[in-house]
Chain A
Amino acid sequence: MTTVANRPLSGVRADFPILEREVNGHPLAYLDSAATAQKPRQVLDAMDAYYQASNANVHRGVYELGREATELFEGARERVAEFAGWDPKTTIFTANATAAINLVAYSWGEAYLSEGDEVVVTEMEHHSNLVPWQEACRRARAKLRYLHVSDEGLLSLDELDEVLAGGRVKMVAVAHISNVIGTINPVAEIAARAKAAGAVTLVDGSQAVPQLPFSVSDVDADFYAWTGHKALGPTGVGVLHGRRALLESMPPFLSGGHMISSVSAESSTWDELPAKYEAGTSPIAEAVGLGVAVDYLSSVGMENVRAHEAELTAYALERLPEVPGIHIPGPSADQRGGVVSFGIDGIHPHDIAEICDRFGVCVRAGHHCAQPLMRCIGMPATARASFQVYNTREEVDRLVEALHEARRVFGLTE
């Protein structure tokens, strides 16, 4: 495994044009893929080619161009569904993961959530899998409950069982991988326990899909949401995989063009899946780009992607403690995805990120859209480094150097 990250995966780094640029006189070390990943040339070329040669609206035109655009768009759906391990008919294109989760929170919530019911989230959720449930509970007068995060950054299945035993839980919404502390949650086990207790599960897979070799079918959650731009694809497209019986019984989320079967003056009927949940013109070029992005990940091999990121993460967890006063919340390397948050005594994360940037090292600083988790780990903000297939050990070394420099700037060295 050590051979994987000693150099970039063969040829991979050269596929990302942005990595050739400099920032503040240094080569770009992009360590913020958990926020958004960089895009390989293949994705950019495919989107460009779509607009230059095949652009037309989909599912409408009887002309050649319209057929071509439709084939590209639906072809992308099939590639994305195959990559994720789910049926294309119940694989819905949305604007992003937040839109996918809102779709469920509104449509499923309207059909299935009522006063006295409970929705369970965890303290480590990104706001995208938290705020929609706060709002759904407010609308339905349901109760929002939290699963705690332990000092080691883990969830407790025993606590889940206790909460489910109350008999009121209708929905369990959980992240597959925490975007802050990197915890890989046992989502298949969580979904199975929720199912046994009569609750449905939504998994936010935004961090997991670009990192882990797995099949959404094996997780077997009722809903699995993720976003394209963290998976080497473009912004503006996300994905919702859903259980057919639920998607058929729920009301539509957005209504309007394309999603109807017929419209009379008074009312309408809905088209079949997935069109029922894809009102309006879809993000066609973005879907085409995402189709190529998942093909790209497949060509590298998700086992290799995981091995590479796991090795970089372990290396970062080994080297970062060399920095005096550093704190790194979250689980050990083997239970963690490619993300490491940290704080340094005497320097605010915002200042850490500013000084790293002077060396061309991009790290995120702040609460990472996970304020309940930040309270839980007792750090109002952290700096965060996250890894993708194009990152190298040398970039981790440069991060560590920049952190030493930050301590010098702040007069924290003897």
Chain B
Amino acid sequence: MAMDALYRDFILDHYKNPRNFGELEPHDLEAHDHNPLCGDELGVHLRVEDGKITDVAFHGQGCAISQAAASIVSEELEGMSVEEVGQLPASWVIEQLGIEISPTRRKCALLNLKVLRGATTGDASWPEG
């Protein structure tokens, strides 16, 4: 079933072997949140130098989409400014995943952005756009 539209090899690889997974001690910014619908949990630690992200680590547990999305996004963050990360739109995350995300899985895909925004702007509302 390598041809599965949602569970592509790319997604399953990031789910089974998540990049930048764990904790960073010390860290400069952090946030932790959950998806009340399914109980998925995700936290993020960020290290920052001169206003730019130098290190990122996600930790938590959840479905393939939420965990793979965090892993995929984590590889794009280094070098971005804190401000930039805080302004990333939901559509950017969906683009990184490269798969169709149905309305029922949207929160799974965007939990990583929710905690990133929480860590960088203090706004922990669900991302739109």
**Residue B41 at the A interface, CB < 8 A?**
yes
Residue of A nearest to B2 (CB): A411
Residues of B near any A CB (own CB < 8 A): 1, 4, 6-7, 12, 16, 37-41, 61-65, 67, 105, 108
Determine whether the beta carbon of A409 is less than 8 Å from that of B4. yes
CB < 8 Å neighbour of A350 from B16, B40, B41: B40
Q: In the complex, what residues of B have CB within 8 A of residue A411's CB?
A: 12, 16
Given contacts A409-B1, A410-B12, contact A350 B38 (CB under 8 A): yes
Determine whether the beta carbon of A408 is less than 8 Å from that of B39. no
Q: In the complex, what residues of B have CB within 8 A of residue A348's CB?
A: 40, 62-64, 67
Q: 3 closest pairs, A vs B, by CB? A: A350-B63, A348-B63, A367-B39
Residue of A nearest to B64 (CB): A351
**Residue A354 at the B interface, CB < 8 A?**
yes
Given contacts A354-B105, A410-B12, contact A349 B38 (CB under 8 A): yes
Given contacts A409-B4, A409-B7, A411-B12, contact A371 B39 (CB under 8 A): yes
Determine whether the beta carbon of B64 is less than 8 Å from that of A366. no
**A365 to B37 CA separation, bound complex (whole angstroms):** 9
CB-defined interface of A316-349 with B at 8 Å, one 1/0 digit per residue?
0000000000000000000000000000000111
Q: In the complex, what residues of B have CB within 8 A of residue A380's CB?
A: 39, 41, 61
Q: In the complex, what residues of B have CB within 8 A of residue A349's CB?
A: 38, 63
Q: In the complex, what residues of B have CB within 8 A of residue A362's CB?
A: none
Determine whether the beta carbon of B6 is less than 8 Å from that of A354. yes
Q: In the complex, what residues of A have CB within 8 A of residue B105's CB?
A: 350, 354
**Residue A374 at the B interface, CB < 8 A?**
yes
27 intermolecular pairs with C-beta atoms under 8 Å apart: A347-B64, A348-B40, A348-B62, A348-B63, A348-B64, A348-B67, A349-B63, A350-B63, A350-B64, A350-B65, A351-B7, A354-B6, A365-B38, A366-B38, A366-B39, A367-B38, A367-B39, A371-B39, A380-B39, A381-B38, A381-B39, A381-B40, A405-B1, A408-B1, A410-B7, A410-B12, A410-B64
**A336 to B12 CA separation, bound complex (whole angstroms):** 36
Q: In the complex, what residues of B have CB within 8 A of residue A365's CB?
A: 38
Determine whether the beta carbon of A374 is less than 8 Å from that of B1. no
Least Cβ–Cβ distance between A357 and chain B, in angstroms = 9
**A405 to B7 CA separation, bound complex (whole angstroms):** 12
Residue of A nearest to B37 (CB): A366
**A355 to B61 CA separation, bound complex (whole angstroms):** 19
Q: In the complex, what residues of B have CB within 8 A of residue A374's CB?
A: 39
Q: In the complex, what residues of A have CB within 8 A of residue B37's CB?
A: 366
Q: In the complex, what residues of A have CB within 8 A of residue B41's CB?
A: 380
Q: In the complex, what residues of A have CB within 8 A of residue B62's CB?
A: 348, 350
Q: In the complex, what residues of A have CB within 8 A of residue B12's CB?
A: 410-411
**A174 to B62 CA separation, bound complex (whole angstroms):** 30
CB-defined interface of A387-414 with B at 8 Å, one 1/0 digit per residue?
0000000000000000001001111000
Determine whether the beta carbon of B108 is less than 8 Å from that of A350. yes
Q: In the complex, what residues of B have CB within 8 A of residue A351's CB?
A: 7, 63-65
Residue of B nearest to A352 (CB): B63
**A123 to B20 CA separation, bound complex (whole angstroms):** 36
**A54 to B6 CA separation, bound complex (whole angstroms):** 49
Q: In the complex, what residues of B have CB within 8 A of residue A366's CB?
A: 37-39
Least Cβ–Cβ distance between B129 and chain A, in angstroms = 24
Most B CB within 10 A of own CB, among A349, A374, A405: A349
Least Cβ–Cβ distance between A335 and chain B, in angstroms = 26
**A408 to B7 CA separation, bound complex (whole angstroms):** 11
Q: In the complex, what residues of A have CB within 8 A of residue B7's CB?
A: 351, 355, 409-410
Least Cβ–Cβ distance between A46 and chain B, in angstroms = 32
Most A CB within 10 A of own CB, among B12, B38, B105, B108: B38
